[in-house]
Amino acid sequence: MKSLTFFFSVLPFLVTNLLLSTGAASGETHEDFVECLKRNIEYRDPYSIVKVLYTPNDPSYSTVLQSSIWNRRFNTSSTPKPLVIVTPVDASQIQASIACSKQHGMQLRVRSGGHDFEGLSYVAAADPFVVVDLRNLRSVTVDARKRKAWVQAGAIIGELYHAIANKTDTLGFAAGMCPTVGIGGLFSGGGFGMLMRKYGTAADNIVDAYLVDARGRILDRASMGEDVFWAIRGGGGNTFGVVVAWKVDLLPVPSTVTVFNVSRSLASENATELVHRWQHVAHKMSKDIIIRVSMKRTHADFFALYLGGVDSLLRLMKNGFPELGLARADCIKMSWAQSVLYFAGIPWNTPLDILLNRTQPSVLNVKGKSDFVQLPIPESGLQKIWKVIQDADPASDASLQFQPWGGRMYEISESSLPFPHRAGNIYHAEPLVFWDEDGSEAAQRNLGWIRRLHATLTPYVSNNPRASYAGYRDLDLGPNSPGQLPSYKQARIWGIKYFKNNFDKCESGSSSGRERTKVSASALAAEEIGPPVNSGSPLRRWWLGLNPSVVVSNSIGGGVQGKCSGVAPLLGGAWRGKQGGDNDWQRRWRRHLVAETKQNEGDSATTAADRVQLDRCRWSPAEATSVATLTSSGGLGGGGGLRQRPRQRRKEKEKKRKEEAEVASRGFTVAVVSGKKEEEDDGEGEGNRDDGCRGGRERIGKGRRK
């Protein structure tokens, strides 16, 4: 199982106003922070056609900030605004953002799609803070033959679905129904979807990732270790670093699926009885069908996806849920990709390119909550619930959504991932309200309603703890105290609800008696900022540098831990150099690697095997040492770690010319970094050298820029 040394770092992901131990930054520090970002991002690439940094003085600042705000509650004049918005185009700019944030005591938020119910991907109570918006990191590369895909964390679900549909109509993925939800946030929380009864959550189908950790290292699954890899799949956002890209298993689906959406009136069609019956059967039916329910003021909607044809669906419903009275005329055949449009409320025969649209026609105020039901609610209880729904503001869109469990969700243990909600639950309940009227009066009216519905559900949902889904973050469950580091006791109030026993394992520091990983034991030991537990606890070590004041949940990494994995295509459009020479990202990474190697040589972290691997990939410490020097800290950022003096730059240019001559004679170019390198054919050839230092040309996709 997994060491909870690192898992305690889920603790801070609801901290909306936690400061670094250095305290609030002064105006001078604000300016220094912005200058640090400019020095390490803009000045490093002055000819880039892509703008990366936005401050309130920029004309485009408000447009960029609001472009991924899907909850108008957090888009008011009084909503705290970031000091800077960073829209990185490659991983080095994420590394610089982390380094500068740590040096200047800035809280950092990472935004993928901006659908957080509490706006925590772009709002922080502590001032100042910075938003890293991953909008430019949205490449998706699909390998239909291997049934794998790499997707960058800034992509939206629709872009992933579109890329799959462009390759095949017999593969899909178990993500959500809203195409504009960001991949980074969905995967970090677990990820519900219409395929979950067949294949589990989105997180259950992640097989690799690239993470930028608190030290700026780029880590894949092998180098981050299984404990950290476990944690990023469902441990919540704003937690373990910045996930830049995810590798997922693609899932078989039939070329034709069947859907239906039928409404049953509360007054004349026995909607209460039907919902009551649904509770007894929906979680027991075939894995190939999922039937969801939406309770509204006057009726209940039953909508379903079936991985098969109409005839077999009708037989299944006749045997399993005849009370619904499903007719052939209610059923529609379509491709799986078209069903994505159907459940998103888009006409299903619309061209699939609409999935690439990252905007919504309207943005409303919204509040959602989350519960898990373990026993059917009696009809009398459903009647009470319906009465509360009918009392909602007539101008609001209020509902209670039910999603059935069972199938694959019962086959996966609750400790397999941080997401623990498995066997024992029959469905998930989601109170939800949208409203258009702005102002505090309308907000209090609607927030008061959803809290009353939440209270009405209390006797009928899970307890000890009353479980909730971390992907639907809810500050009503218990935020940490403003301006204070959270204690374990304080965080447990909400942590146990999101993670159940996976949170309790923090007390022992181990979930199965297995030793803690090298990453959790040593890699972050230099970034201590004050853990939320006793100073002698092993839980300190994953707290180090991993609270929201430092980084947020999204990832990739490197150092000397890698094995020549070929990361660059996944780290963004960093391919600035011509063939035969290193690009800017590669040079920066070399310098970082040199610093890591120097720093580690004295404590045996760089092993002989590491040096052999580096040399094998033409990244030997000796060769790299002559390229440049960093600050004495050996890190990426701050005062001048990425900037070289003129003499150093001249030496680097001379070194580069020699390397180009050598590379040209060998017939390939250095093309990547992650502790290893990828070799690319000189010219337009499609093959890669099969000598263990290959990367993955097939992964370049949209990530490659000329």
Using DSSP's 3-state secondary structure scheme, residue 166 falls into helix
The DSSP code for 643 is -
What Å distances lie between residue 92 and 166, 245, 421, CA to CA? 31, 14, 36
> What average pLDDT does the segment 616-626 reach?
31
The residue assigned the tokens 């030290």 is 215
Express each pLDDT in 374-390 by its tens digit: 999 999 999 999 999 99
Known catalytic membership, residue 472: yes
* pLDDT at residue 628 greater than cutoff 80: no
Express each pLDDT in 393-416 by its tens digit: 999 999 999 999 999 999 999 999
> What average pLDDT does the segment 314-322 reach?
99
Provide the pLDDT for residue 285: 99
Per the CB < 8 A criterion, the answer to whether 130 and 94 are in contact is no
Helix ranges (H only) for 336-378 are 336-343
Alpha carbons 11 and 389: distance in angstroms, whole number: 33
Provide the pLDDT for residue 640: 30
Per-residue pLDDT band for 28 (boundaries 50, 70, 90) equals low
Alpha carbons 271 and 191: distance in angstroms, whole number: 29
> What average pLDDT does the segment 118-124 reach?
93
Provide the pLDDT for residue 13: 34
CA atoms within 13 A on the CB side of 497: 26
Whats the size of the chain, residue-wise? 706
Per the CB < 8 A criterion, the answer to whether 352 and 165 are in contact is yes
Locate the domains of the chain by residue range: 257-334+371-460, 568-703
* pLDDT at residue 692 greater than cutoff 50: no
Structure tokens that stand for 346 in this block:
């888009």
Catalytic pick among 122, 210, 342, 472: 472
Express each pLDDT in 191-245 by its tens digit: 999 999 999 999 999 999 999 998 899 999 999 999 999 999 999 876 788 999 9
More confident residue, 558 or 237: 237
Structure tokens that stand for 151 in this block:
């997707």
* pLDDT at residue 690 greater than cutoff 80: no
Express each pLDDT in 138-193 by its tens digit: 999 999 999 999 999 999 999 999 999 999 999 999 999 999 999 999 999 999 99
Per the CB < 8 A criterion, the answer to whether 675 and 223 are in contact is yes
What Å distances lie between residue 514 and 2, 3, 368, 399, CA to CA? 8, 7, 38, 45
For 447-450, the CB contacts below 8 A with 24+ separation are 447/367, 449/388, 449/391, 449/392, 449/393, 449/396, 449/398, 450/367, 450/368, 450/369, 450/398
What Å distances lie between residue 334 and 47, 161, 229, 293, CA to CA? 47, 15, 36, 21
How does the average pLDDT of the chain come out, rounded? 76
Phi and psi at residue 204, in whole multiples of 5°?
Answer: -65, -15
Helix ranges (H only) for 602-645 are 608-616, 621-625
Name the β-bridge partners of 304: 260, 291
Alpha carbons 132 and 100: distance in angstroms, whole number: 12
First to last CA, the chain: 44
Express each pLDDT in 633-679 by its tens digit: 222 222 233 344 556 666 666 666 665 554 443 332 222 333 333 33
What Å distances lie between residue 150 and 155, 577, 674, CA to CA? 11, 24, 16
Using DSSP's 3-state secondary structure scheme, residue 35 falls into helix
Instruction: Give the per-residue SS3 of 171-233.
Output: EECCCCCCCCCEHHHHHHHCCCCCCHHHHCCCHHHEEEEEEECCCCCEECHHHHCHHHHHHHC
* pLDDT at residue 21 greater than cutoff 80: no
The pTM (predicted TM-score) of the whole model is: 0.75
Alpha carbons 447 and 117: distance in angstroms, whole number: 12
Using DSSP's 3-state secondary structure scheme, residue 242 falls into strand
Alpha carbons 527 and 215: distance in angstroms, whole number: 8
Residue 313 one-letter amino acid: L
Express each pLDDT in 494-532 by its tens digit: 999 999 999 876 433 443 433 233 222 222 222 222 223
Structure tokens that stand for 555 in this block:
């990832």
* pLDDT at residue 570 greater than cutoff 70: no
Express each pLDDT in 83-99 by its tens digit: 999 999 999 999 999 99
Per the CB < 8 A criterion, the answer to whether 575 and 583 are in contact is yes
Structure tokens that stand for 428 in this block:
């998930």
Which of 170, 185, 189, 96 has its CA nearest to residue 134? Answer: 185
What's the chain's Rg over C-alpha atoms? Answer: 26
The CATH architecture to which 257-334+371-460 belongs is: 3-Layer(aba) Sandwich (3.40)
Per the CB < 8 A criterion, the answer to whether 99 and 592 are in contact is no
Express each pLDDT in 587-614 by its tens digit: 444 454 444 444 444 433 333 333 333 3
Alpha carbons 600 and 611: distance in angstroms, whole number: 12
pLDDT over 90 percentage in the chain = 60
Name the β-bridge partners of 367: 433
Residue 472 one-letter amino acid: Y
The residue assigned the tokens 């993925």 is 173
Q: Per mean pLDDT, which of 218-222, 483-487, 691-695 is the most reliable?
A: 218-222
> What average pLDDT does the segment 473-497 reach?
81
Q: At what angle do helices 91-104 and 584-601 cross, to 10 degrees?
A: 50
